[in-house]
Chain A
């Protein structure tokens, strides 16, 4: 496994980029936040990375960062390049790449809703899934699902006969 020469050539044109192979037909590229749009443009224009498969967001709360991963596929090279950028968790603002890859609109809107990252220039930052949700962006690591559930819902207190019988004899559900 190595990085194809054509890809290396293109990557070398950009500053502050680290690339390494990450398995069969996978290349991982780490890039500074300001360099990502140029990278995506270049990959798209020169090597046919026209398909934005997904944008993933990871909340590295202990580092105070969000990691955004742009998975782009080239039908031509048969290669998936995952471009990783790290942005500050606060204020959590980044630029939209909607103008380069139209599908970005969907993923950016989703990440905004789930992580609270705002994408400047995105076509829509409106809610899509959590229309009635007033709380914090739930995919953030500091949102505790279990706590939310405990506070919101109640456990069913089953009282079947067999349990009553066991309780009469001194047994019961263990905590």
Chain B
């Protein structure tokens, strides 16, 4: 890294502007990420995003590993929302190999994806509240998420890095009684939702701080490549689950939640609505899983001698943060020739963030970033 040259202030011409480094260890920055902002007073006149603090070279490493081995890597790309990573990787492999995922496994995947969405939104909800000083929300959000992690642990054997979805299905069937425990947890979540509502959305501080903050129009959002809840908060009803459906989503009944504000508040409102929708989807998945039996994985060859046919595929997934893409190329060998991960935050953690920060105040940098739900590890990969 080039060391920044610090000139002697005495030699500089008097200026009203100055640079401030936000991150990578700033408590208000999500993950290890940095934004360099140029300030005039407390108003930002320029922002430059700086990533790379979480770069682990996943795309490169995956080229050296067997098709099955890579399932251990992919959830690590986005820690708060790992399931879409696992699912997208597996699905791209399945698209290339022409693998048929058994119906039961498809429902299990939907269940996992939506549980993960709930977790991720709770996490972001808590984090977003913390950026404007509301720590109770953060504790509540994180606590609630933890109860969902218990469910993940029960199903997959791990709380965060589930390594559960594998090309062809999932690694094992659901444990006995877990559907009932999920149902009980959903009831608990629903009981808490009015409290979150009280504490956050009906909170004068939130409304005042979040209204108009980091606002973008639908036209801007579309031009900037914004996806997911951030796009829907500008009024565009776009959702990969509906537009480019995968798994059994065509059979699932859910609403696409939209808001029109396009600001931090609207984005959080969309997420709140999506938690409600996710609960609805999870219930449908539970009902389906009570009926649909059968295998949870298709027959696969010995993983040490598995050559996928040559070809390429682009799998898109609606993660909690937007459109996640996995472009995988196989040259007919035992390992991927190329894996390209289009992190769902690619746009709103870099170019869009830089745009939205201009003109806002320094106190809102963290809030804007959180309200966009930017996930630096999936940008860095």
Contacts and interface: CB of A to CB of B under 8 A. Distances in A.
A128 B52 contact: yes
A165 B225 CA distance: 61
- Grouping DSSP codes into helix (H, G, I), strand (E, B) and loop, the B interface class, with mixed when no group exceeds half, is mixed
Contact of A105 (B61, B351, B380): B351
Interface stretch (A9-17, A33-41, A52-60, A87-95): A52-60
A71 B314 contact: yes
B325 A54 contact: yes
B241 to A, nearest CB: 12
A146 B64 contact: yes
Contact of A145 (B64, B244, B316, B323): B64
A145 B340 contact: no
Classify chain A: how many residues form its interface, as a range.
35 or more
A140 B260 CA distance: 44
Contacts of B351: 102-103, 105-106
Interface in A70-119: 71, 73, 75, 78, 80, 82, 101-103, 105-107, 114
A119 B338 CA distance: 21
Interface stretch (A129-137, A150-158, A167-175): A129-137
B327 A71 contact: yes
Nearest to A126: B48
A134 B340 CA distance: 23
Interface in B233-247: 238, 243-244
Given A58-B329, A128-B51, A78 B223 contact: no
B244 A25 contact: yes
Interface in B212-246: 222-225, 227, 238, 243-244
A129 B225 contact: no
A75 B323 CA distance: 13
A114 B52 CA distance: 12
B340 A56 contact: yes
Given A54-B325, A128-B52, A145 B225 contact: no
A53 B52 contact: no
Contacts of B329: 58
B209 interface: no
Contacts of A101: 225
A52 B225 contact: yes
A53 B316 CA distance: 9
A58 B244 CA distance: 24
* Most A Cβ at <10 Å: residue of B1, B238, B314: B314
Contact of B59 (A71, A82, A139, A146): A139
Contacts of A43: none
Interface of A: 22-23, 25-26, 50-54, 56-59, 69, 71, 73, 75, 78, 80, 82, 101-103, 105-107, 114, 128-132, 138-139, 143, 145-146
